[in-house]
Amino acid sequence: MVEGDLPYSLVNKGPFDLIVCDPPFKALPLGRRVAQAAWGEVAPGGRLALRWPGREVDSPLGLPIQIKRTVGTETLFVYKKEREQYRCSLKR
């Protein structure tokens, strides 16, 4: 578990094989930044599971989706990082 101010507390904490991300729905721009920071810490071959509001939504991160499941009014996205994919960087 990583604690601190989001999304910057996620930077340079990994790499992790699996990250489960449940960003704040009331602040989706912040949620997207948190998810991007989490993606940057996924190890090559690792996965990011992201819970996101909405039934008919495209990939919030603009990345290829490995698994997409919609339940009720929310969607779970699972992304897998291939070895050639890059790390995201955040600027303060």
The domain spans of the chain are 8-80
- Written as six digits, the tokens of 12 are 């340079």
Q: For position 76, what pLDDT does the model report?
A: 94
Classify residue 91 by burial, with Cβ atoms within 10 Å: 0-12, 13-18, 19+: exposed
Q: What sign for the dihedral angle of Cα 59, 54, 66, 44? A: positive
Looking at domain 8-80, its CATH architecture is: 3-Layer(aba) Sandwich (3.40)
* Coil vs helix vs strand at 24: coil
Contacts of 83 (CB under 8 A, 6+ apart): 44, 45
What is this structure's pTM? 0.78
Going residue by residue through the chain, which has 92 residues, state the pLDDT in tens, using 9 for 90 and above: 767 776 777 778 889 999 998 877 788 888 888 889 889 999 999 999 999 998 778 888 889 999 999 999 999 999 999 876 555 555 55
For residue 8, the 8-state DSSP code is: G
